[in-house]
Amino acid sequence: MLNTFSSVRQYLKFDLTRVVIDNFVFKLHYRWTFVMLLVATLLITSRQYIGEHIQCISDGVIAPVINTFCFFTPTFTVVRDLNHTVFRPGSEPPGIGHYDASKDQIKRHAYYQWVPFVLFFQALCFYVPHFLWKKWEGGRVKALVFGLKMVGLTRYLKNDSLRIGKLNIPSMAEAEERIKDIRRTMIDRMRLNQSWGAHLVFTEFLNLVNLLLQITWTNRFLGGQFLDLGPKAIKGRWSEELSVLDIVFPKVTKCRFHKYGAGGSLQDHDTLCVMALNIMNEKIYTILWFWYAFLLTVTVLGLIWRLLTLCLYRNLTFTRWSLYWAKPGRLDEKELAAVIDKCNFSNWMFLFFLRTNLSEFLFKKVIYHLASEFPNPETDNDINAYRDMGASTSSSTVKARYPDINGLDTVDAPLLHQRHPATPPVSVLPDPSDMTKMPV
C-alpha cells in the first residue's frame, strides 16, 4: 500500500526550511485537496483493493468478454424499481427487476468509466491557482528569508556560519547583511511592482471560483445528485429506506449483450453485473461532499479576512494584531507606524509574509531599519538630521535615540533625504577701500 501512494508522499513532507508565501486556506486547496484527489484516483485505478471493477453473470457468453463489454458499454437500472415505496429491506437489490424494453424506463450509468480521469483533472484544477501565484510571486520572499529560519542562534555566532544537515545558521555579520538586503528590497518595492498584492487577491478569489466550478461539475457528473448527497447519505445510514447511495452508485446493474447464435439468429442476453467499483466511488464522493462543504466555508471566511486587510491595513492596531497572529512577538509601535504609513497593500502583504518567515529578533531589526528611512513629522524621526547635528547635539543623545545608528546601511537608499538642504555658499567681494592695505 505504501508503494502505491509513494507518488504523493512528496506533497506531505514537513520541511523546516520551507518558505511561506500563502496562508492556511490556500494550502487547503493546492495541497490537501490536491493530495486527496490524487489518492482517490490511485484507489480507483488499483485493482488490488477492490478486485475486478465489474463482474457479470451470463449463460452462453465467456466471462472476460461479457465483463469487458459491459464495462465499456453503459449498464443500466430500471427506474420503476428505484422507488422508495417499492423497496423493502432484505429484498433484491433495487433497479434490477423485470424489464420490458417497450414500456419500462431505464437509467444508464456510464460515469464509472470516467471517474479516475475526472478526479485527476479536478486535482490539477485545484493546483492551478497556486501555480499562478508562485509564478507571479517570483520567489522574492524565499530569496530574502531563505536560511534565516534559525536566526535566533546567530547571536552565538559572530563571523562564522554553522551548517547542521540541511539547516544553515548564518553568523551575526551575515544576518546583518541580509537585513540590509531586505531593507533595500522593501524600499525598492515602494515604487515598483505594485501589482504583487493584486495577484495574491486574484488567486485567492480564483480558489473560490474553482471550488464552485468543481462542485457544479461534480453535481452534473453524478446526474444532479451531488449537492445534497452528504445529508441524504447520513439520513439513509440510520433508516431502513432506500439510500441515495444505492441510487447514485448502484452495486448491481443490468447489461444487455447481443450475439448471433449457431442458426444465424440474434440472441439477447440479459446480464447481471456486480459493480465492485461503486463500493469505492460512493465513499470517495461522500467524503468529497463533506470536504467541499468545509472548504467552501473556510474559503469564504478567508476572503472576508482578505477584505478586512484591504480596508484596514493602514490601521496600527489591526496591523499589530495581524503580525502577531502571523507569528507572536512584540514590535515597537512608533517604528511600525512609521513603516505602515508609507506602505500600500502590496508592501503591507510583503511585510506580513516577512513576519511569517522571520523570527521576532530579526523582524524587529527589519522594522527598525525601515522606520529609520521614513521621517515622522511628529517625532522628528530623521536619521540624516541626527547624523548632521554635529556639535549642536552630543553623540550620546543620538545613540540614546538610535542605539544602532552606526549599524544602519546608508548605501542605495532612495528614500533617504534631509529636511533642510544645504544652502549654496555666497561669494563676497572685498571692500575697495581695503585694496590698498593688501600686500603686493
Q: What pLDDT is stored for residue 437 in this prediction? A: 47
Q: List Cβ neighbours of 110 (8 Å cut-off, separation of 6 or more).
A: 74
Q: What pLDDT is stored for residue 206 in this prediction? A: 97
Name the residue with higher pLDDT: 254 or 87. 254
- Cell numbers 492551478 correspond to 128
* CA neighbours closer than 13 Å in the CB half-sphere of residue 180: 13
Check residue 147 and give left, alpha or beta (phi > 0: left; psi -120 to 50: alpha).
left
Highest mean pLDDT among 43-52, 100-109, 413-422: 100-109
Q: What pLDDT is stored for residue 334 in this prediction? A: 86
Alpha carbon distance 337, 181 (integer Å): 21
* CA neighbours closer than 13 Å in the CB half-sphere of residue 130: 20
Question: Would you give the end-to-end CA distance of the chain in angstroms?
Answer: 107
Longest dimension (CA), the chain: 146
pLDDT at 229 over 50: yes
Condensed to tens digits (0 to 9), the pLDDT of residues 161-188 reads 555 555 556 666 666 777 777 777 777 6
All three cell numbers of 321, joined, read 494584531
The mean per-residue pLDDT over the stretch 220-237 comes to 87
Distance of CA 18 to the CA centre of its chain: 14
| C-beta of residue 148 within 8 angstroms of C-beta of residue 178 | yes
pLDDT grade for 78, boundaries at 50, 70 and 90: confident
Quickly count: other Cβ atoms within 10 Å of residue 239's Cβ. 9
pLDDT at 153 over 70: no
Q: What pLDDT is stored for residue 133 in this prediction? A: 93
- Cell numbers 424489464 correspond to 99
All three cell numbers of 239, joined, read 433508516
| C-beta of residue 175 within 8 angstroms of C-beta of residue 154 | yes
pLDDT grade for 294, boundaries at 50, 70 and 90: very high
Alpha carbon distance 255, 271 (integer Å): 5
Q: What pLDDT is stored for residue 161 in this prediction? A: 55
Highest mean pLDDT among 77-91, 170-184, 193-207: 193-207
| C-beta of residue 416 within 8 angstroms of C-beta of residue 184 | no
pLDDT at 150 over 50: yes
Which residue, 258, 273, 271, is CA-closest to 52? 273
Alpha carbon distance 366, 180 (integer Å): 8
Q: What pLDDT is stored for residue 205 in this prediction? A: 96
Q: List Cβ neighbours of 223 (8 Å cut-off, separation of 6 or more).
A: 111, 248
Per-residue DSSP letter, 432 = G
| C-beta of residue 174 within 8 angstroms of C-beta of residue 48 | no
| C-beta of residue 292 within 8 angstroms of C-beta of residue 214 | yes
- Specify the range with the lowest mean pLDDT, choosing from 23-27, 52-56, 68-72, 377-381: 377-381
All three cell numbers of 76, joined, read 443500466
Condensed to tens digits (0 to 9), the pLDDT of residues 13-43 reads 655 567 888 999 999 999 999 999 998 998 8
The mean per-residue pLDDT over the stretch 352-357 comes to 87
Q: List Cβ neighbours of 90 (8 Å cut-off, separation of 6 or more).
A: none
Highest mean pLDDT among 38-42, 339-343, 365-369, 383-387: 38-42
Check residue 279 and give left, alpha or beta (phi > 0: left; psi -120 to 50: alpha).
alpha
pLDDT grade for 296, boundaries at 50, 70 and 90: very high
Encode burial over 258-274: b for 16+ CB neighbours within 10 A, e otherwise: eeeeeeeeeeebebbbb
SS3 state at 46 = coil
Q: What pLDDT is stored for residue 82 in this prediction? A: 60
All three cell numbers of 356, joined, read 511569517
Name the residue with higher pLDDT: 295 or 371. 295
pLDDT at 386 over 60: no
All three cell numbers of 297, joined, read 466555508
| C-beta of residue 405 within 8 angstroms of C-beta of residue 399 | yes
The dihedrals phi and psi of 165, each to the nearest 5 degrees, come to 65, -120
Q: What pLDDT is stored for residue 246 in this prediction? A: 81
Could you give the percent of the chain with pLDDT greater than 70? 64
Q: List Cβ neighbours of 133 (8 Å cut-off, separation of 6 or more).
A: 21, 22, 26, 199, 200, 203
Alpha carbon distance 111, 270 (integer Å): 21
Condensed to tens digits (0 to 9), the pLDDT of residues 242-287 reads 778 888 888 888 888 877 766 666 777 778 888 888 888 999 999 9
Q: 258: part of which helix (H) or strand (E)?
A: strand 252-260
Q: What pLDDT is stored for residue 299 in this prediction? A: 97
Q: What pLDDT is stored for residue 36 in this prediction? A: 93
**Orientation angle between helical segments 115-137 and 196-221, nearest 10 degrees:** 170
75-78 β-sheet, strand order: 55-57, 266-274, 252-260, 75-78, 106-109
The mean per-residue pLDDT over the stretch 290-310 comes to 96
Mean pLDDT of the chain: 75
